[in-house]
Amino acid sequence: MDFFLKLFLSGTAKGSIYALIALGYTMVYGIVQLINFAHGEVYMIGGFTALIIGGLLFSSGMAVPLVLLLSILAAVVFSAAFGFTIEKLAYKPLREKPRLSALISAIGISMILQNVVLLAQTEKYLSFPSYLPELEFLRPVREYLNSTQFIILVTTAAIMVILTLTIKFTRMGKAMRATAQDKHMAQLVGVDINGVISLTFIIGSALAAVGGVLICSYMGQINYYIGFVAGIKAFVAAVLGGIGSIPGAVLGSFILGWTESLGTGYLSSDYEDAYAFVILILILILKPDGILGKNQKQKV
């Protein structure tokens, strides 16, 4: 039971990070029906930016909490900027083209970003200094839930609530939902769909950046390739929950996190990365619309 609880909690922490990345996938897919293959890379860039800016500020003698705050802020700003630029550069010109064209373009972007970081920074794993505080009140239960995991959980929960409220109640949220339903119709009633699409990429990328900083602090290391695996897993989570659905992405992420934790704990740790793929295959075969996804009928 002890062992189970430990695995369950670490799975929950993992799941909440996947959720931060999965939200970007699901929002983009909901609005432009594109699997944004480069989303994982945006998350990796978030991690790198935090490492660089954090390192710069820390060595200048700034106080740790301020370093943490500013490095997260920098990660969010730069990742969002990357997300925005990628959409304008590689996806917008292909919007009216067959779906697979944009997917291929996304794969290209993914390769470019990985290699830019590889060539301009390093191919080695770098250890990632964590600026997250050690929370005193968690000391008694540290074996089950450490500070980093706790912070991840709380941050994800807060972001989730804010995001849901934004999409439900603000004007922009309404515009987003309208665009997701019917792009042309939304345009006719005066929604600036280019703006909505850009905003979707910006929000998704910003969330990925927060996820990037958190997971790098948690794992304690970073390299140019981390975005790929995390990206694929988050995508799996989004599909599992029902792509296009925000609560679905969160639910899917937790299920994936738990499966991975329990699977590595009880079955085999050799296949840690394989669990996600097996889930993906099963869900696509059995229920391609995901747990909370809507059944989409093609119009004939």
Partner 1 sequence: MERNKLFRDLRTSLIIAAWFSFLLFPLLVMKVSVTSGAALVRFRWERLPGIAVAAFALSFAWRRALEWNEARGDKPSGAGPIAALTARARSALAVKPIRLSVSAVLLAVVAVYPFALGMYHTNIMITALIYVILALGLNIVVGLGGLLNLGYAAFFAVGAYTYGLLWKYAGPAFVAAGVDPGWLFWIALPTAGVLAAVFGALLSLPVLRLRGDYLAIITLAFGEIVRMVLQNSGAVTGGATGISLIPRPWFFGLRLPPRQAATYIYYIAVALVALTVFVVRRIEDSRVGRALEAMREDEIACEAMGVDLVRNKLVTFSLGAFWAGIAGVLLAAQTTYINPDSFTLWESITVLMAVVIGGTGSIPGAIGGALLLKLLPEYFRPLAQYRMLIYGIAMILVIIFKPDGLFPRNRKKYTFEGAPSEGGASPAADGQEARR
Partner 2 sequence: MSATDPILEIDRLSMIFGGLRAIDDVSLHIREGEICALIGPNGAGKTTIFNCITGVYRPTEGRVTIRRGSGQREAIQGLKPNVINRKGLARTFQNIRLFGNMTVLENVMIGRHNALAAGVLRAIARDAATRDEEERLIDDCRRILVKMRLDPFINETARNLPYGAQRRLEIARALATDPFLLLLDEPVAGMNPHETKELEETINLIRDEEKVTILLIEHDMSLVMNVSERIYVLDYGRLIAEGTPDEIKGNPEVIKAYLGE
Residues that bind partner 1 (CB under 8 A): 33-35, 45, 48-49, 51-56, 58-59, 74, 78, 81-82, 85, 89-90, 93-94, 97, 99-101, 103-105, 107-112, 114-117, 119-122, 126-129, 228, 232, 235-236, 239, 270-271, 273-274, 276-278, 280-281, 284-285, 288, 298, 300
User: Contact, 212 vs 75, CB < 8 A?
Assistant: yes
With CB under 5 to 8 Å by kind, the binding choice for 101 among partner 2, partner 1, none is partner 1
User: Contact, 113 vs 45, CB < 8 A?
Assistant: yes
Q: State in angstroms the smallest separation of the CB of 104 from partner 1.
A: 5
Cα–Cα dist 21/233, whole Å: 9
At position 177, the amino acid (one-letter code) is R
Counting contacts by CB under 8 A, is residue 124 touching partner 2?
A: no
Cβ nearer to partner 2, comparing 189 with 300: 300
Cβ nearer to partner 2, comparing 120 with 300: 300
With CB under 5 to 8 Å by kind, the binding choice for 115 among partner 2, partner 1, none is partner 1
Cα–Cα dist 206/34, whole Å: 18
Q: State in angstroms the smallest separation of the CB of 300 from partner 2.
A: 5
DSSP letter for each residue of 136-199: GGGGGGTTTS-HHHHHHHHHHHHHHHHHHHHHHHSHHHHHHHHHHH-HHHHHHTT--HHHHHHH
Cβ nearer to partner 2, comparing 124 with 297: 297
Q: State in angstroms the smallest separation of the CB of 44 from partner 1.
A: 11
User: Contact, 38 vs 110, CB < 8 A?
Assistant: yes
Cα 162 to Cα 111, 132, 176, 268, distances in angstroms: 33, 22, 15, 37
Pairing of β 221-222 and β 126-127 = antiparallel
Task: Convert residues 265-294 into a mask of x (bound to partner 2 by CB under 8 A) and - (unbound).
Answer: -----------------------------x
Counting contacts by CB under 8 A, is residue 300 touching partner 2?
A: yes
Counting contacts by CB under 8 A, is residue 297 touching partner 2?
A: yes
Q: Tell me which residues touch partner 2 (CB under 8 A).
A: 294-295, 297, 300
